[in-house]
A and B are shown apart, each in its own frame.
Chain A
């Protein structure tokens, strides 16, 4: 009898045969997320249809003492959805219902498998949108965004997922479905558990319903592209814009190598001879945007821009963004392989940090293309290598790791939006002391004393939890059957 036969049978009973994937070849298609050099084939894959089936799955996992990992669209870049060999992979791709849209209250409640962009699309005609816009928004799921606290190009103005999620239904690692947060309301009494679950990378349970804010679409949007001779000048322009008190909706920089890759891939026709381009977008009331646009253009020229383009319409805006949005994939045109890094520095340290990255790459004999969210100091160095050439991967890996050290040494972070996952768990101690990490894991022990939810992620060393939590008492639960939102 196969090792997991009894587990598989229980799952089939609970979810139906078509929701349980046991065939090895089929399971292997789920062996990695967007970070493809970590691969583990899960013991079983399940595709629950709703919250009740997620709950049933987690309870069965609990009963069999096997861990589980949640996966949305699998676009994560830190291995957060990397399966566990003996565990169950819970894929939310069948949970794609937008459960309710409440425009007067500015909220939607969605299932975790709903694709990020689908929310904005559902309410665009009424003049609303969902603000967090990770680059993968065409495919990434809200459940994954909640796990990773995803950002996006516009988070410099609008904030991250945690600022836009007001309530969760969470399937706890014990298999309880719990409502957290205010939902339609701004907050609920008690600890801000939504605030700590968002960004916990699937280690505190699985979000089965997500209440998100819907914002009014801005009246006007203006997108500008400024070309500079050097990245330092582009960085200085960004600083000047921020220092002037402007709040651009996005401020993105690409360096010469990234521009070259984008030109090859999508012919974005950025100004010839640019050592860096800065894309700035402002949005809001038309009168405000007009004032901001004039100021941004002026500040870019002052910082040494040799050409500034202002998109005249939506097509031209898309044209400007095309190069930036294609940058990661485009790097494949100039290098057979590359590592996408994600680190954060204080914005004011941009110049020296980029110079040091350049020097490190030079010493290692490899190239680094830089694409970054300049408004908030979030770097995405693309470390290029050729896997076919001996030693190049190791050199790239080393530079990539050194970039994180550099970020930390400037008071920054090892991840701005991709998460720690499995990839950076061993690097977390560069930012936090053992006491810090131990304290964070008190939360883990409260939610998941058995370490069943996404084990091996985030923390380099799991904390042994003390005594089991006290048994729950029914009287503490919310009245049954009452929909809070």
Chain B
């Protein structure tokens, strides 16, 4: 087979392309080359080389979620976005900034901080790059108030599979000119294009913040507490829940080891009054603190676990969590944004595949009638290869058609996404 290294090196500059090593594989699929272009134009050039040689390209940011989804069918080129980094523009007065896709979110936030601003996107992997966070649709507690990446992204530049650079959106918060391709790229797992830079709407860092925590025992109790919070006039910035495995839902009314935590942000006077109102609402067991609990904004799963994402109607979460607990037969830690109905759960990595399938069937069975989804984000290969990671996907046929248009030769992360896209 052809040696594409010289062509890749020519496309992205000397020293920025190399033969892949054992650590460059994607979800167990070995790669052949790694290219680390430093500009958007060079990303496009790499993709043109790939098109010419019919090579499969998988973009990689920090690699924190490279094992999410299915493994790509093959990997010829890992396109490392690490050099596409830096804040290209930041106008504090407009609360807008443009950042390279390879910039770690943490570095981006640090660059914005001196202006008293932030990107209100607080996913559980702050070392993730901007591009990686967008492509995997990762969002954290602040989603309740500010939405996910797709809601904060106002402009995008990306390279198409055929090596053409394209832009959509713009540099202003309000803009309805043309199709909003940024939304299409968010959560697309690198199967439609490679994001090279992103322009975001920013928000001021609030002057004051408080967290109000309260112990909870059961998913049913979580539902009731969350319902009360969302009806109360306190405008929470986030409502998170943590149900550790040590508390397998004893339905005996005792305060368990689970926690509901509410974030209140705003002016100092406003926050003080609102936090007090939340504490009153949550009852005598509530405690108000000026730091988030240790589990805040972190996934309940670790390396080697089977990582689940459950997205459900807010008032129906308990049903899915009960189904999960019942079907798993083992303690299952659950954590996430109860205020938006996006929860994460961890099954032990050694759970047999047929057991995982039974769990997924049970949870999805509960969700089918209510709306919602249960997705396996990542899992050990034996499980990952044997189970349906995504469940039913509304509009899959249209998604196929979109993929066929953007990447007809299936060169971008093929097989990684829903329906084998």
Contacts and interface: CB of A to CB of B under 8 A. Distances in A.
Interface string A471-485: 011001111001111
Interface stretch (B75-83, B177-185, B298-306, B324-332): B177-185
B361 to A, nearest CB: 13
Nearest to A211: B371
Contact of B370 (A184, A196, A437): A184
Interface string A282-307: 00111111111001000000000000
A185 B179 contact: no
A182 B147 CA distance: 14
| Size class of the contact patch on chain A | 35 or more
Given A179-B395, A189-B393, A377-B172, A243 B93 contact: yes
B354 to A, nearest CB: 22
B399 A428 contact: no
Interface stretch (A30-38, A262-270, A416-424): A416-424
B377 to A, nearest CB: 11
Contacts, number: 308
B311 A458 contact: no
Contacts of B206: 245
A155 B148 CA distance: 17
Contact of A285 (B235, B311, B417): B235
Interface stretch (B125-133, B160-168, B213-221, B247-255): B160-168
B372 A190 contact: no
Interface string B391-405: 111111111111011
A431 B177 contact: yes
A346 B172 contact: yes
Interface string B249-283: 00000000000000000111111111001000000
Given A163-B151, A446-B404, A376 B373 contact: no
Contacts of A195: 150, 180, 183-184, 186
Contacts of A419: 176
Interface residues of B, number: 94
A261 B55 CA distance: 64
A46 interface: no
A63 interface: no
Nearest to B183: A195
Given A183-B371, A196-B184, A413-B177, A191 B270 contact: no
Nearest to B151: A163
Interface in B363-421: 368-373, 375, 390-402, 404-406, 408, 417-419
Contacts of B273: 285-288
22 contacts: A105-B316, A159-B147, A160-B174, A163-B147, A185-B371, A187-B137, A187-B148, A190-B394, A191-B188, A191-B192, A192-B183, A193-B402, A195-B180, A198-B180, A243-B93, A295-B267, A415-B176, A431-B177, A440-B178, A442-B405, A473-B397, A483-B369
A151 B173 CA distance: 11
Nearest to A106: B314
Interface of B: 91-96, 116, 137, 143, 147-148, 150-151, 160, 164-168, 170-181, 183-184, 186-188, 192, 203-207, 227, 230-231, 233-235, 266-274, 277, 311-316, 340-342, 368-373, 375, 390-402, 404-406, 408, 417-419
A469 interface: yes
B137 A412 contact: no
A440 B181 contact: yes
Contacts of A196: 179-181, 183-184
A184 B372 contact: yes
Nearest to B370: A184
Given A376-B174, A432-B178, A443-B181, A191 B92 contact: no
Contacts of A172: 398
